Amino acid sequence: MTILSFSELTEKCEKENKAIYQITQEEEAKLLEAEIDVVRLKVLEDLLAMKDSIKHGLKSTEKSISGWCGDDCAKLADKYAHSGALFGRVFEKITTYALATSEENLRMGRIAACPTAGSCGIVPSVIIASAEEKKISEAQQINGLLTAGMVGLIISNKVQLAGAVAGCQAECGVASAMAAAALTQMLGGDVNTVINAVALALKNILGLTCDPVCGLVEVPCIKRNAFLAIHAVTACELALCGVESKIPADEVVDTLKITGQLMSPVLKETSQGGLAKTKTALELEKVLFKK
């Protein structure tokens, strides 16, 4: 991929008068030596896989091996069935879909790691829930996912999308920025608005640690997906009404990288600090490994 920064992406989009998703599918077509229609079909496969993950996740209450997680989505859905969410139907769907996908991952079900398995519920929940409630076409959903893909790719050029490298800011944080970009594209935002949404989402999650209890991608990872999905929507809403990030997206990504480098290793997926070393976490660890 020849585009290495958001400034380069903006310049190319403006020069060619194209949206981010158009540039993305063209770049992918060159890489695959295939037609753009082939690229879009591959993205559709990913979108359908995401929908299947949500579908299966909504139906199951099977617990993880630890026994800690697996039925949070069902609890939330039951709550919404009796008394709707304060923020309405889209909020209900996004939060339940995020949990459904994340729980499907812990059951070793089929998910799309977008951009990682630990953050797999964020992008799908935002794209699919919003599309269902706002009657957004499948073609526009593909455009959104292509846009999200370019965002993830540009960020990954500077920092590895792994909690072990830069904390959860590089997993759930980046997923939230990707989801914000996808939704902004789907709701008609232009190139600058999409990239501004990325900056807003990413800069407000800087420093998020990766401290999984017992080293499992369960606590706090699963519920974090629901929180960061809504975070993405907030970034989108702000961007669409003209609220701007004073710090450009590329500089936010640079800061994410530096923050990851400054972060202690005990807070980067090692389970040696943070929530993983709380009193309760240590007790859970004893019980789990005694099993």
Q: Angle at the Cα of 175 (from 229 to 130), degrees rounded to 5?
A: 40
Residue 1 lies in a domain: no
Residue 268 lies in a domain: no
Structure tokens at 266: 């005990």
CA distance 119 to 122: 6
Residue 91 lies in a domain: yes
What is the tens place of the pLDDT at every residue in 47-100?
A: 999 999 999 999 999 999 899 999 999 999 999 999 999 999 999 999 999 999
Greatest Cα-to-Cα distance within the chain, rounded to the nearest angstrom: 62
What is the tens place of the pLDDT at every residue in 31-43?
A: 999 999 999 999 9
Structure tokens at 164: 């072990």
CB atoms within 10 A of CB 69: 21
What is the tens place of the pLDDT at every residue in 175-185?
A: 999 999 999 99
CB atoms within 10 A of CB 252: 22
Cα dist from 250 to 10, 104, 157, whole Å:
11, 33, 11
Residue 92 lies in a domain: yes
Full-model pTM: 0.97
Which CATH number fits the domain that encloses residue 28? 1.10.4100.10
Structure tokens at 167: 């904390």
Residue 93 lies in a domain: yes
Domain holding 118, by residue range, is 6-206+218-261
Residue 35 lies in a domain: yes
CA distance 138 to 134: 12
